[in-house]
Structures are given as structure tokens and as C-alpha cells.
Amino acid sequence: MLKIDSVTHSFPGVAHRVLDNVSLEVPEGGFFSLIGPSGCGKTTLLRIVAGLLAPAGSGEVYVDGVSLIGPSPEKAMVFQHFNLLPWRTALDNVAYGPELQGVPKKERHELARKQLQAVGLEQYVNHYPSQLSGGMQQRVGLARALAVEPKVLLMDEPFGSLDALTREYLQTELQKLCEKSKVTVLFVTHSIDEAIYLSDRILVMGRNPGRIVRELEVELPRPRWSYRARSEPSFAKLRDQLWDQLQNEMAEGEGQEGSRGGHSE
């Protein structure tokens, strides 16, 4: 469903490539996570896939076999910061995407109510963002992304600013929504536990240049909310593997920075 083919990117004034020949494929309904040290290009790659940034180099992005390097309704993005329109209610925030697509008001409000119900916010349709908690605002952001019925959902650390309890709750809710909608997900996180709990496969990125250095399959059965997935021996084993890999990447990146006199992105 999502194919990233040989994406390379550089920023002006930066000596090394931010992304170097990055390729990956996510099957329909798959949930893949990108994890790596700061500065490895995870968010840059996600923004290129979303069409918010054009690759300053080479590469293509395909959705369902069609080249879509720019923005398109087939792709939706959820950011770490909620980015809700403060003058719009939860209902009108969720209806914003369908509104831009020309969906009539009655139909888009029905669609928005359905999505808010799916994230457990049917009682808050007329609340403004300032009247909602951080977790509620992120659920509105997720409902807004799903309201355009995308084929691919891109998520950039969407739970990174939330408290631990809310974060774990929304991880489970996200899994349930993805199971129901069959949407294909590419997810960026700094949390090893989050990546394991949510993902089918985890892609580890190295930096200077940003590239995929390892791909690991998560063999925990689904649905993971139906048992104590985090207590499974295979969870702990995969966590150790990822931690060792990330430590190596961080140490290697620091060594490269030191050899260049401390220059960093």
C-alpha cells in the first residue's frame, strides 16, 4: 500500500545527507514504526511521504501503486502537537478535511460525529480545543485524520507530549481503530516500548546520513490489548535487541559528530 523508493534528501548548509537512499514497503493494513536517535531524519521522511516537503535529491513515494510525491487525500498525518483550529469545535475540526474536499455540510458533520464516537468523544462535539484535555485533543486530531478516509495514516510521535497513563490508553485505542479501519500506518516514535506494542515491524534508523540500518519483526499476536503483551518474554527480548541497536547508533553518531568538530543538524 505504501512504497518509499530510494528517497534522498539534504538541507542547505548541512554537509551530510539527512536521508540517504531510504526505501521501504508497508503492506495494506500494516503498522510499521520508525525509531532512531534524534537527527536521523524520521520526521523529515514522514513529511516527505505526506507531501509536506519535497525530496531535495531523488526518490518516489507510491500509495497503492500510484506515485504521490505531493499532498493527496490518500494520505493523512497526525502530529505530536495537536494543531487543532482553536475557533472550531471538535465537530468542525474533524469535519475540516471533508469540507476541503467539498463534502456537503450535513454529510461531513455526520461523518465527523461518527469519527468522534469512534474515539470516545461523542459527548464533546461542541467543545472547543481549549475545553479539552491534551489526550482529548489528540483524539480529535486522530478523528480528523481518519475522517478523510485515507489509505495511509502517518503519525509523528502523536503521544509524545501526553502523560504515561493517557499515552498507554491511546496506544490501545489506536490499535482498535486501525483494526477496524484497516488503514496502513507509518509511525514515528522515540519509545521502544510503544514501537513494540503497536507495530508489525520496526525500522531502526541511523544518522549522518539518515538511513534504515535494521528491520525487526514483532511476533506478538494480535489483538495485543486482549492480554499482557508487555509481560511476554518475546517483548523483553525484542526490547533488548532494539536498545542495543539504538545505543550503537547513538555512539556511532556521536563519534561522527566529534570527527567533524561537533557540527550537527
**CA distances, 253 to each of 89, 112, 231, 245, 265 (Å):** 44, 44, 32, 12, 12
Q: Are strands 31-35 and 201-206 parallel, antiparallel or unpaired?
A: parallel
The answer to whether residue 14 is domain-embedded is yes
85 and 56 share one domain: no
Does residue 170 have a pLDDT over 70?
A: yes
* For the chain, percent of residues with pLDDT exceeding 70: 95
Quick check: helix, strand or coil at residue 123? Answer: helix
The answer to whether residue 176 is domain-embedded is no
158 and 242 share one domain: yes
10 and 46 share one domain: yes
49 and 4 share one domain: yes
Does residue 117 have a pLDDT over 90?
A: yes
Mean pLDDT, range 122-146, rounded to an integer: 93
117 and 210 share one domain: no
63 and 158 share one domain: yes
12 and 90 share one domain: no
34 and 158 share one domain: yes
Does residue 215 have a pLDDT over 90?
A: yes
The answer to whether residue 237 is domain-embedded is yes
Split at pLDDT 50, 70, 90, the class of 261 is: very low
The answer to whether residue 117 is domain-embedded is yes
242 and 158 share one domain: yes
240 and 141 share one domain: no
| pLDDT for res 263 | 38
20's enclosing H/E stretch is strand 19-26
Does residue 31 have a pLDDT over 50?
A: yes
The answer to whether residue 129 is domain-embedded is yes
The answer to whether residue 47 is domain-embedded is yes
Q: Identify the domain boundary among 149, 174, 200.
A: 149
Domain that holds residue 235: 1-74+154-163+190-246
Confidence (pTM): 0.90
Do the beta carbons of residue 65 and residue 56 sit within 8 Å?
no
The answer to whether residue 182 is domain-embedded is no
Mean pLDDT, range 217-221, rounded to an integer: 95
37 and 59 share one domain: yes
Does residue 262 have a pLDDT over 70?
A: no
159 and 66 share one domain: yes
Split into its structural domains, the chain has a count of 2
Which letter does DSSP use for residue 121 in this model?
A: -
CATH at 68: 3.40.50.300
